[in-house]
Structure 1
Amino acid sequence: MNKLLKTISVSVLGAAMLSPVLSTVVFAATAASEQQATRNLVQQLSNIKSFSANFEQTTKATAGTKPAQRTGLSAQHMNQTFVGEMKVERPGKFYWETKTPAKQTIVTSGKTVWIYDPDLQQAVRQTLDDQVANTPALLLSGNTAQIMQAYRVAQPDQSKTYYRLYPRVKDSAFQSLTISFGTNKAPNMMVLLDSLGQTTSIRFNNVKVNPSIPASVFNFTPPKGTDIINQ
């Protein structure tokens, strides 16, 4: 599950320009206070009741990370781009399907999370407890108040709609999560720096804000013959 759920952190900081007279003018970004950044993110998320998008996800090892530490993804998956689609309906409904280069589906209707691997004919079933619910990829389908309790929020440039979240607990699976919003007020990119020294970037395209999504999308029934693993 963590291959796809430990998702996400962007860095688009600062602004600098060269003037026509060869002098360098630096425009320093004004960061919002933590309180204001939190209010801004809450407002941004509150406008999204549902959304759907295609995604491209890539994970890379951070420079300087020792090979022995790179245990989050196998070497064959590192630096590969996973392509698929996702659908979210708040609160608590989430659908994530990777189509290439390997197939995997993650589905929850708010109580149980299913991770289905058709190639292995295997489905993992987990209860959506607090630990799983705080996984980055599920944040967008979560309760806004709970998200704010779980993370410190920074807005490096208060004129830009991107935010960096830091887990309040020390043993979190990731160090920081950055989320950027586009002109349609929906996420267009997420970047995660995890505790294994890996950076996962997810770009969203073909985004639809507040679409009507059939309830059946978030209900999963394992195909006949599937090996079910309870965790």
Structure 2
Amino acid sequence: MTLTVAGLQAGYGGGTVLHGVDLTVPQGTAIAVLGRNGAGKTTLVHAVAGLLRPKAGSVQLDDVELAGRPAHRVARAGVGLVPQGRRVFASLTVAEHLDLSRRPGEWTVPRVLELLPRLGERRRHKGNQLSGGEAQMLAIARALLTQPRLLLLDEPCEGLAVDLAARVRSVVAELARGGLTVLLVEQQPEHALAVADHVALLGDGVVVATHTADELRASPQLADPVLSVAKHA
């Protein structure tokens, strides 16, 4: 499924964070949105996922308009969300998380555990007994069991040790290679470039440029206009 965002404006209360975002994620590709803190990355994810009602603009999955729909209807249309901060339930076991999330479809609990074998080893452990990397794997598994055609990930490597962040990147890259449409938002270029085919640079609520991952690897300075504040913070 192709995601098309056009003229998207969104914010909180009386403020506007996104000032007309235009973005296309073709079916079976991975696009990363790169920007510093406060650029509007999470706002974009929330608006696409139905957690935030846009003030203007369009969010379409193929020819289905999602803008303004509640989150549960957006999820049923095929949008899966891996939120920032994981948000697993402390008192539920891994197995209970998976049971609550699953819907009929190609992603089954055994298939998810084959992709993420560490979760199989931790099935009886509660959310508050998981490491940060394990909790992130559980958040990804939970999203996959909703049978998404578009997977949204909000800084999935945030706060993880280097080796765990590399494992998360590897899993997301494998999902993208498998044909899942992926929209990833990140602040760190290395995380974005390990997964994405193209990178959209988000600054002050608008996409200021889009580059291939190869272009950014060859010329990292292309991201300076949207990351310079973060670099000197």
Same fold (TM over 0.5): no
Normalised by the size of structure 1, how large is the TM-score?
0.27
Structure number with higher helix proportion: 2
TM-score (norm 2): 0.27
